[in-house]
Amino acid sequence: MTLTPEWYLLLAAALFTIGAVGVLIRRNAIVLFMCVELMLNAANLALVTFSRINGTLDGQIIAFFVMVVAAAEVVVGLAIIMSIFRTRRSASVDDSNLLKY
Amino acid sequence: MTVADALLLGLGAVAVGAGALVVTTAHLVRAGLYLVVCLGAVAGLYLVLTAELVAWVQVLIYVGAVVVLLLFAVMLTRAPIGASADLDRPGLPALLVGGGASLGLAALLVDAYRWSSVPAPAPGTAEVLGAQLFRSWVLPFEVLSVLLLAALVGAIIVSRPDIGGGGR
């Protein structure tokens, strides 16, 4: 038996699902960020697989860009979490309801 | 079964298992450490897919920087060292969304991108990728550098209470 790149795509779908479920069931904002990273990684894996399927390197370059955006997102997100923690003394996403109508 | 197939199965199992542990473990710090394992396995998969530079950058940025940043945040928010009982919330909607996303993505991806017999691309070494990047992807590259600068300045302003809105 030889495995086709569809298996990579299935793996990417599984990782994305784990991340999505994690974002929905976890309460701590930092674990939420870890789950977002999982989802971004699943997207990256799919991009690199597409690059392999299509025979070009464009997918890998877009994966780089996704990584850079992910790094920027983590930096800004953690700054916001710190700021919320300073005022609310809690990192739980259920406690930050300031913008809730 | 070739070596690449065995590596795919092994690393894929490690990645999915560690990812599931990130989502299910009750320890905050352990979630971060499992994330390292998961991202490392994905980096190995990039190597199997001949995307060398992406794999090493993954190790540098994610395992080296992002996870360290997350663990620092865990420490700065005074997370408990042991297990935290109230980490999860009711999971039924999440299971529905997860099942839907999983089935939808799997069906869509596998159906839309069948394996065709295009010859494999050249290995994604730094030289080849750099040439591509600075020939046909210069504008996104420059835009991303501006984005990084904006994120840097924004993070400093948000997290410093004396100049930003954090302390109010």
Q: What pLDDT score was predicted for residue B83?
A: 66
Q: What is the CATH number of domain B1-83?
A: 1.20.120.1200
Q: What pLDDT score was predicted for residue A41?
A: 93
pLDDT over 50 (residue B35): yes
b/e map of B94-125 (b: 16 or more CB within 10 Å)? beebbeebbeebbeebbeebeeeeeeebeebe
pLDDT over 70 (residue A101): no
CB of B25 within 8 Å of a chain A CB? The answer is no
Dump pLDDT digits (tens) for B37-62: 999 999 999 998 888 899 999 999 88
Q: Which residue has the tokens 């990256």?
A: A44
- How high is the ipTM of this complex? 0.88
Distance from CA of A100 to the nearest CA of B (A): 18
Please answer yes or no on whether B128 and A87 come within 8 Å at the CB atom: no
Please report the sign of the dihedral spanned by the C-alpha atoms of residue B85, residue B90, residue B92, residue B96: negative
pLDDT over 60 (residue A51): yes
Ranges A10-24, B120-134, B137-151: which has the least confidence = B120-134
Strand partners, B88: A26
Please answer yes or no on whether B158 and A20 come within 8 Å at the CB atom: no
Distance CA A100, CA A62 (A): 35
Strand partners, A92: A28
State the Cα torsion A7-A9-A14-A19 to the nearest 10°. 150
Q: Which helix (H) or strand (E) holds A84?
A: helix A58-88
Report how far Cα A12 is from the mean position of its chain's Cα atoms: 12
pLDDT over 50 (residue A1): no
Mutate to test the interface with A, among B70, B134, B142 (most CBs of A within 10 A): B70
pLDDT over 70 (residue A12): yes
Please answer yes or no on whether B12 and A54 come within 8 Å at the CB atom: no
pLDDT over 70 (residue A18): yes
Dump pLDDT digits (tens) for B85-98: 666 777 777 788 88
Q: Which helix (H) or strand (E) holds B140?
A: helix B138-159
pTM of the model: 0.87
Asked if A37 and B39 count as a contact pair (C-beta separation under 8 A), the reply is yes
Helical axes B28-48 vs A29-54, angle rounded to 10°: 10
Distance CA B103, CA B120 (A): 28
Asked if B116 and A53 count as a contact pair (C-beta separation under 8 A), the reply is yes
Distance CA A22, CA A26 (A): 6
Domain edges within chain A:
28-88
Q: How is A2-66 classified by DSSP, letter by letter?
A: ---THHHHHHHHHHHHHHHHHHHHB-BHHHHHHHHHHHHHHHHHHHHHHHHHHTSSHHHHHHHHH
pLDDT over 90 (residue A45): yes
Q: Where is pLDDT greater, at A90 or A58?
A: A58
Ranges A24-38, A80-94, B15-29: which has the least confidence = A80-94
CB of B86 within 8 Å of a chain A CB? The answer is yes
Determine phi and psi for B83, rounding to 5 degrees. Answer: -75, 140
Return the top range by mean pLDDT from A82-91, B38-47, B75-84, B108-117. Answer: B38-47
User: Chain B residue closest to A78 (CA)?
Assistant: B73
Q: What pLDDT score was predicted for residue B166?
A: 47
Q: What pLDDT score was predicted for residue B14?
A: 94
Question: What percent of chain B is predicted at pLDDT more than 90?
Answer: 29
Length of chain B: 168
Chain A residues with beta carbon closer than 8 angstroms to that of B4: 3
Distance CA B110, CA B168 (A): 50
B74: helix, strand or coil: helix
Q: Where is pLDDT greater, at A48 or B121?
A: A48
What number is the average pLDDT over the span B91-119? 75
Task: Provide the chain B residues 140-159 that lie in CB contact (below 8 A) with chain A.
Answer: 140-141, 144, 147-148, 150-152, 154-156, 158-159
